[in-house]
Amino acid sequence: MRVIDCAQRTDAWWEARRGMPTASQYKRIVKSDGKRSDQRKAYLYECAAVRITGVYEDTYTSAAIQRGIEMEEEARLVYQMDQEVTVAEVGFCLADGERWGASPDGLIGDDGLLEIKCPSGKTQVEYLLRGKLPAAYFQQVHGQLQATGRAWCDFVSYYPGLPMLVVRVELDREFLAKLEAELVAFCDELDQVCKDIGGV
């Protein structure tokens, strides 16, 4: 892993991940069972366009997403106090081979990482009742583990006034093997698409 030291959502961060598959979008490449996603081709073409032009077209931030971004630091502080750990913030983490990467919300010690979500109150209640990693974030969390070489991730869901959910996610090696194979195939195809249309 190589860490590019840049604050998330800055110009340097966008440039570091330009045209590259990133963990938050892995569900568009592969399903949680390891099979290819129906969204794979659209994401492939999106990555190709961004790699060549440097333009991110889909950067709309809804009010809910913006609220989550603003609450992330509070959630990180609450988690650190609750778990009695120190979280080191990072920019963009390039996986070995530097063809894909991830932006975890923090690294913990030598083995762990942190992923924070700040959903609506009703979603927080749902997450608390289920008490496990929401399926929508399975690929993202494992993609972050793959990119960073870490052994576990604490998935944190936070909403002020409600209990905080902390789910320790251990690395699923069977899924990791499928994910890596699909990432290699995706990046190979991405290189070819860019070449075919005379891009980078």
Give the separation between CA 167 and CA 139, rounded to whole angstroms: 15
Query: How high is the pLDDT of residue 88?
Result: 95
Does the pLDDT value for residue 73 go beyond 70? yes
Query: Which of 25-34, 61-70, 100-109, 152-161 is predicted with the least confidence, judged by mean pLDDT?
Result: 61-70
Which residue is it, tokens 């913030």? 89
Q: Which pLDDT tens digit goes with each residue over 77-104?
A: 999 999 999 999 999 999 989 999 999 9
Query: How high is the pLDDT of residue 198?
Result: 82
Residue type, 92: F
Those residues with Cβ within 8 angstroms of residue 58's Cβ, 6 or more apart along the chain or in another chain: 46
Question: Residue 106, by phi and psi: left (phi above 0), alpha (psi -120 to 50) or beta?
Answer: left
Query: How high is the pLDDT of residue 59?
Result: 59
Counting runs of H as helices and runs of E as strands, what totals does the chain give? 6, 8
Helical (H) or strand (E) element with 105:
none
CA distance from start to end of the chain: 24
**Per-residue confidence band for 62, with pLDDT thresholds at 50, 70 and 90:** low
Give the separation between CA 153 and CA 145, rounded to whole angstroms: 7
Does the pLDDT value for residue 199 go beyond 70? no
| Cβ(78)–Cβ(34) below 8 Å | no
Identify which has the larger pLDDT, 8 or 95: 95
Average pLDDT over residues 177-194: 96
Give the separation between CA 48 and CA 54, rounded to whole angstroms: 10
Q: Percentage of the chain with pLDDT > 90?
A: 84
Residue type, 123: T
Helical (H) or strand (E) element with 56:
none
Query: How high is the pLDDT of residue 60?
Result: 56
Q: Which pLDDT tens digit goes with each residue over 131-181?
A: 999 999 999 999 999 999 999 999 999 999 999 999 999 999 999 999 999
Return the CATH class of domain 2-196.
alpha beta
Total-model pTM: 0.92
